[in-house]
Amino acid sequence: MTSRHSRPSPDTVRLVEENLLTLCQLKDMVGSLSPDIYQQAFGEHGRHTLGKHVRHIIDHYDALLEGLDRGGEVIDYEQRRRDEALEQWPQQAASHLVGIESRLSVLGGEPSSAALTLAYPLDEERLSLASSLDRELAFLTSHSIHHMAIIALLAEQSGIHLPETFGVHPSTLRHWQRASEEQVPLSPLSRRSA
């Protein structure tokens, strides 16, 4: 029999699912791009590309997963790989996202009670902050969606049409769904029975 502490929490399962849905949107978009569009520079100084934002998202997931592979000793988002190939070649990034999805799926089946430590640089000091898998999964969803919203703006400038839901946080999607359900007009039959 499995003890209570060895089961994944329902929250962890839901947070993993939110991340998987977010990454699936990103992977689908990235997989449809040519390298030219993926590498197209935007902004006054040409610092923004779709690929750089995608690579940045990937780097954060890799940092979490590598920290967990080390036993959760330290999660350090500042010590990212910054693999330039992932910002230049969309098919390579899409393939890497598939691997992240696979690794995240396993987290939904693992216990989430272990404490994690988040390394955070502050001036010349490096803070060690208490965290948890659930907290880091929530952060990664929000962080990814933030960058996907920027990606959506850049894609629009390139004439790429993305779904209305791309780069929209799951909580906003749930709000839209509730608002839509509240605004459904009553049909003539339902008015009579009311």
Q: Which residue has the tokens 């230049």?
A: 88
pLDDT digits (tens, 9 = 90+) for 149-187: 999 999 998 899 998 888 888 888 788 788 888 876 655
pLDDT computed for residue 111 by the predictor: 60
pLDDT digits (tens, 9 = 90+) for 35-85: 999 999 987 777 899 999 999 999 999 999 999 988 777 899 988 888 899
Interior/surface letters 40-52, b for 16+ CB within 10 angstroms, e for the rest: bebeeeeebbbbb
Is the pLDDT at 110 greater than 70? The verdict is: no
Pick from 127, 135, 118, 184: nearest CA to 12 = 135
Looking at the chain, the whole-number percentage of residues with pLDDT higher than 70 is 86
* Cα 140 from Cα 158, distance rounded (Å): 26
Check residue 6 and report its DSSP letter: G
